[in-house]
Amino acid sequence: MKQRALAVGLDFALRAAAGLILASPVIAAIASTGIPSFPEGDRLLFEPGGLMLVEVARALWSAAIPLVRTELVTGLLLGMALLVPYSLVLVALKRRVVTTVELCGEAVSRVPSLLALHGLTLLTQGGAILATATVASGLRTSLVGATSRGADLVVVALLLLGGLLVLGLAMLRDLASAACVEESVGSRVAVGRGFAALLRSPGGVLRAWAGPLATVVVLVAASAWLTGKVDVSRAGAWRVGVVLLAHQAVLFARSVCRAWWLGRALALVR
């Protein structure tokens, strides 16, 4: 139990640090516009109407492409690094009890296979998104007309289907990752084991996956509601503190819920 708590806590801490690293260039770019020099500070960005937000976006437009390119590269590198706590959580959730040194060693040894699984999933998800958007755009204009309500409903339905496909690929990735760690197999064999677990008990997999996902969605919605109520555009440093605490609480709950799902995934592939 101690090792599992340590693994989940490390996963949360590293994800929070990764979020800070990704946000830092954006924060620095916004600060370069001179917003912090106003008495209201960055609260101006959240005022009704969004006038100052639009002006800041216009001022940063020339730097948008280099900033996005840098963020994509940084996000890719951080995503690869975050596979270490992901593997650590999976290894810690296994039934066999090991020492902390053995736990870390096995987690690191599984990272290459997990990297292959996650990279393949990312490419497949990107292809699914591109294909869905292309088909939706074509059907909107060729089947029901470009301005009808039916055309919009077709686009929404196809985009929802594409979103479910992307989520399903993520679910299969986690099952394959669980098989990779549980049975110490390569990525190719792990994909087959993940498919087998899904075919063997599709209802059990969906229930185990949907519970943590629904919990996170509810918590995100509650955090958004609380953020709106606190309203950081008004004076008071405590408002920023409350919003920051709410966001970190949701991030920690996400790590806990994902560990919950990964534990069920390990049981399903056994």
Domains of the chain by residue range:
2-269
**pLDDT at residue 68, rounded to an integer:** 81
- Both tokens of residue 147? 């301005």
C-alpha 268/C-alpha 96 separation (Å) is 16
Average pLDDT of adjacent 10-residue blocks, the chain of 270 residues: 84 90 83 70 67 74 78 87 91 77 84 90 88 78 62 78 88 91 83 88 88 91 85 72 87 92 89
pTM beyond 0.85, yes or no: no
- Check residue 146 and report its DSSP letter: S
Phi, psi dihedrals of residue 32, rounded to the nearest 5°: -70, -15
- Is-contact 214 260, C-beta < 8 A? no
Q: Count the neighbouring beta carbons within 10 Å of the beta carbon of residue 152.
A: 13
Question: Under DSSP, is residue 231 helix (H, G, I), strand (E, B) or coil?
Answer: coil
